[in-house]
Structure 1
Amino acid sequence: MATRLPIIIYRLDAERLQRLIDEADDNDLAVARSLEEELARGEVVDPEQIPGDVVSMCSQVQFTDLDRDRQIIRALVYPHALATTEDGISGMAPVGAALIGLRIGDTINWPLPGGHEAQLRIDAILWPPEREGQCHR
């Protein structure tokens, strides 16, 4: 796997995600461990320090699955918001955890179930919650 890029994460996101990691059940343990690794390598900052090109929770993100040449738009949400968010992806899902803290232009390889990897490139952040003053959703 390629060298992992450093990430930037909003302080409240880090706290909320850590709670989800701590409460993970047996079905979510693998993703929780991966997400915990992501948080451990991240720089935790206040909302006004989040650059506009960084993926945070509640962001609407456009990314490309380079292996399938498929562009995807998803809102990165907490698990409890999945039912009410069209095209939502949980931060506790493998791909959701992979997106947190990345910047536009970043490309990562992320392990998928079954030993496969997905290569993802962040193309745009269509709705950044920090710039919109929506940091506490």
Structure 2
Amino acid sequence: MKKKQIIVSLHDYEILKTLCYHAPGTDKLREELERAVIRKGKVPDDVVQVNSTLQFRDERSGKVRSVQLVLPAVSNLQLGKLSILSPIGTALLGYSAGDTIDWEVPAGKTQLHILSVGLLLEGEPKV
């Protein structure tokens, strides 16, 4: 299956590219960044970026999760902060609300369906 093109802001691209040079196990993220459309201007609000909050469903289990996609230094699953370097975090980057992604996770192949996307606003409760 051909993968849909993903969108990444220039700001996120530069941060994530640097992260790829310094962190082990970033091959999948590097692959995603190589195929991304890099936007110098504003990225649409419904596109998953670093610090986006989103809700997605794992189609294999049916479980719906609400998370914030974050850099590894601030990740904390108990607080809903999902690292961009996690298999699911890497999978979600650059896709939009309504997209379904086929992805390999440690438990096997799954499909992730993005239900909604928004940016965390200052003072907004954490997911």
TM-score, scaled to structure 1: 0.82
* Cα separation, 2, equivalents of 1:57 and 1:68: 25
| Structure 2 residue runs without a partner (length 5+) | 123-127
Q: Does 1:38 align with 2:32?
A: yes
Paired amino acid for 1:120: L
Paired amino acid for 1:9: V
Cα distance change of structure 1 residues 63 and 83 upon mapping to structure 2, 3 Å threshold: closer
Given that 2:97 and 2:114 are in contact with CA atoms closer than 8 Å, whether structure 1 keeps it comes out as yes
- Of residues 45, 61, 65, the one that matches 1:68 is 61
Deviations 1:85-115 (A, max 9, x none): 821000011100000000111101111125x
Q: In the alignment, what sits opposite 1:102?
A: 95
Q: Identity over aligned residues, as a percent? A: 31
Q: Does 1:112 align with 2:105?
A: yes
What SS does the corresponding residue of 2:66 show, helix, strand or coil?
Answer: strand
When structure 1 is superposed on structure 2, of 5-14 and 78-87 the one drifting more is 78-87
- Of residues 41, 46, 49, the one that matches 1:53 is 46
What SS does the corresponding residue of 2:75 show, helix, strand or coil?
Answer: helix
Given that 1:89 and 1:96 are in contact with CA atoms closer than 8 Å, whether structure 2 keeps it comes out as yes
* Cα separation, 1, equivalents of 2:113 and 2:105: 16
* Cα separation, 2, equivalents of 1:111 and 1:104: 20
Q: Which stretches of structure 1, 4 residues or more, deviate above 4 A after TM superposition?
A: none
Computed over aligned residues only, the root mean square deviation of the Cα atoms, in angstroms, reads: 2.0
Paired amino acid for 1:37: E
Given that 1:90 and 1:96 are in contact with CA atoms closer than 8 Å, whether structure 2 keeps it comes out as yes
| Structure 1 residue runs without a partner (length 5+) | none
Higher helix share: 1
Given that 1:75 and 1:85 are in contact with CA atoms closer than 8 Å, whether structure 2 keeps it comes out as no
* Cα separation, 2, equivalents of 1:17 and 1:3: 23
What SS does the corresponding residue of 1:39 show, helix, strand or coil?
Answer: helix
